[in-house]
Amino acid sequence: MENKNTYQKIYEVVKQIPKGKVASYSLVARLVGNSKLTRVVGYALHQNKDNKIVPCHRVVTKDGYVSDAFIFGGANKQVELLKSEGIKFIKKLKKDKNKKEKEVEAVDMKEHLWDRICW
DNA sequence: CAGTTGACGGCCC
DNA sequence: GGGGCCGCCAACT
């Protein structure tokens, strides 16, 4: 990803995520060149509103959870998009702000985490 | 130019 | 084991 801005590199990496696969923020950060850039990755994607340019819905947390504040239609929409790409979800219990365990859908990382075929 | 923030992650209590 | 705090880097105001 050469000599582009870090910001631009992040997009380049995310755009390379193949359909049917997902990448964690930390993974993207590492591919960009610095594993500590996870926050910047999130920042970069937040700025991106067009999933036509960058498939930001394929980026999830290391646990496979979708972003809480996904702009493009909300987190629920993100799950839908991923499902339509053939990604398998598993029910998982996550605690919300009220410390109540609620069932949420998480990507099956074992099956769909990006293989990193490009390096 | 300096302080704040942010789609996270990891270590510590 | 769960919750909370801190850190890391770049963009933003």
> Is nucleic acid strand C under 7 Å from A37's C-beta?
yes
What is the signed CA dihedral for A85, A91, A93, A96, rounded to 10 degrees? 40
Over residues A73-102, the pLDDT tens digits come to 888 899 999 999 999 999 888 876 666 778
In angstroms, the CA of A53 and the C1' of B11 are apart by 36
In angstroms, the CA of A33 and the C1' of B7 are apart by 19
Over residues A24-42, the pLDDT tens digits come to 999 999 999 899 999 999 9
In angstroms, the CA of A77 and the C1' of C1 are apart by 31
> Is nucleic acid strand C under 7 Å from A100's C-beta?
no
Are the C-beta atoms of residues A39 and A32 closer than 8 Å to each other? no
The model's pTM is: 0.89
Q: Mean pLDDT over all residues of chain A? A: 87
Q: What pLDDT does A31 receive?
A: 92
> How is residue A66 written in tokens?
């979708």
